[in-house]
């Protein structure tokens, strides 16, 4: 399947990054407790505006202001589920695109049931690892928490099916990331193994994807560009890092300084 996927050139994603920074989308993040701070800092380093509003009533109100909404079920509770549902409903009414990060779906009942329910509510994008995308596509996952047991390309077919069935975009991340609408598929290479040693790089990617999904134009190209931006920053950061601590610091700096306009890569 992978031979059908397209490469993403700097000429394609550089102007999209430029627009993102200039428009500074307001991204409403309903995400897990562990990664809220890092997620906000990643968005700020890309010149976006993060906002974490979590009360059900306020979250519904806030969907009227926000450019995009992220739902990440990493530390789901029954109460948060209600607030997330209220926000999704309001976002749909306001026409605000929303992105689903189905953390560890398949392994745990509450979130699996909730994610299945959300699937029918027109997410603009779904971003997960191979286990999560396979679980969402109701294939056996054998997932062990948040770690992926499958390579991204093994889940690619499931992603394409999911995208077609729910008329959404699906991003499967791993050593290679894939972004697909069920017909077209972009393959994004790059990144660094150190990204798996800093908590929240995947969750932050979902927030960035949510932000990029709010830009006008080809949404699949936009969210694939989000993946490419993060992969590039990861490569740059890894080159100057001694370990996960300095990597996280350098990663935020790289998002801030990333300059891709004149590259031919």
By the rule CB under 8 A, 142 interacts with a second copy: no
Instruction: Select 38 or 178, whichever has its Cβ closest to a second copy.
Output: 38
With CB under 8 A as the contact rule, the residue among 115, 220, 251, 260 that binds a second copy is: 251
Q: Does the protein bind a second copy through residue 109 (CB under 8 A)? A: yes
127 is in an annotated binding site: yes
When binding is defined by CB under 8 A, the residue of 35, 91, 135, 170 that contacts a second copy is 35
Given the complex with a second copy, which of 169 and 255 has the nearer CB atom? Answer: 255
CA dihedral 103, 48, 233, 128 (to 10 degrees): 20
Pick the binder of a second copy from 117, 144, 189, 265 (CB under 8 A): 144
Give the whole-angstrom CA distance, residue 88 versus residue 27. Answer: 13
Query: Contact between 107 and a second copy (CB under 8 A)?
Result: yes
Asked if 21 is part of the footprint of a second copy (rule: CB under 8 A), the reply reads no
Question: Is 243 assigned to a binding site?
Answer: no
Question: How many residues contact a second copy, by CB under 8 A?
Answer: 62
202 annotated as ligand-binding: no
Long-range contacts of 251-260 (CB under 8 A, 24+ apart): 251/42, 251/195, 251/198, 251/201, 252/41, 252/42, 252/45, 253/45, 255/42, 255/45, 255/46, 255/229, 255/230, 256/45, 256/46, 258/17, 258/229, 258/232, 258/233, 260/10, 260/13, 260/14, 260/17, 260/232
Site for a second copy in 61-100 (CB under 8 A): 61-62, 65-66, 74-78
Q: What angle do CA 209, 243, 255 make, to 5 degrees?
A: 30
Determine whether the annotation assigns residue 19 to a binding site: no
Q: How far is the CB of 125 from a second copy (least distance, A)?
A: 22
CB of residue 39 vs a second copy: minimum separation in angstroms?
Answer: 8
The residues that touch a second copy, with contacts defined as CB under 8 A, are: 26, 32-38, 40-41, 44-45, 47, 49-55, 57-58, 61-62, 65-66, 74-78, 104, 107-111, 144-147, 196-200, 241-246, 248-257
């Amino acid at each position: 399947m992978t031979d059908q996927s397209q490469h993403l050139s700097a000429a394609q994603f550089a102007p999209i990054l430029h627009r993102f920074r200039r428009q500074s989308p307001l991204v409403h993040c309903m995400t897990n407790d562990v990664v809220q701070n890092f997620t906000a800092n990643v968005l700020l380093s890309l010149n976006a505006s993060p906002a974490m509003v979590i009360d059900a009533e306020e979250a519904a109100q806030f969907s009227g202001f926000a450019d995009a909404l992220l739902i990440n079920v990493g530390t789901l509770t029954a109460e948060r589920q209600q607030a997330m549902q209220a926000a999704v409903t309001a976002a749909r009414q306001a026409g605000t695109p929303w992105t689903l990060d189905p953390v560890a779906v398949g392994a745990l009942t509450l979130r699996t049931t909730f994610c299945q329910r959300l699937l029918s509510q027109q997410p603009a994008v779904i971003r997960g690892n191979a286990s999560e995308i396979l679980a969402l596509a109701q294939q056996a996952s054998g997932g062990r928490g948040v770690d992926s047991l499958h390579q991204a390309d093994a889940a690619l077919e499931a992603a394409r099916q999911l995208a077609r069935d729910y008329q959404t975009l699906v991003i499967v991340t791993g050593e290679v990331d894939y972004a697909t609408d069920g017909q077209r598929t972009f393959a994004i290479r790059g990144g660094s193994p150190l990204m798996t040693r800093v908590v929240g790089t995947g969750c932050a990617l979902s927030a960035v994807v949510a932000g990029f999904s709010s830009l006008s134009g080809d949404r699949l190209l936009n969210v694939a560009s989000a993946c490419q931006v993060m992969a590039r920053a990861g490569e740059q950061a890894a080159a100057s890092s001694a370990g996960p601590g300095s990597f996280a610091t350098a990663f935020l700096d790289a998002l801030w300084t990333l300059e891709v306009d004149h590259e031919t890569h």
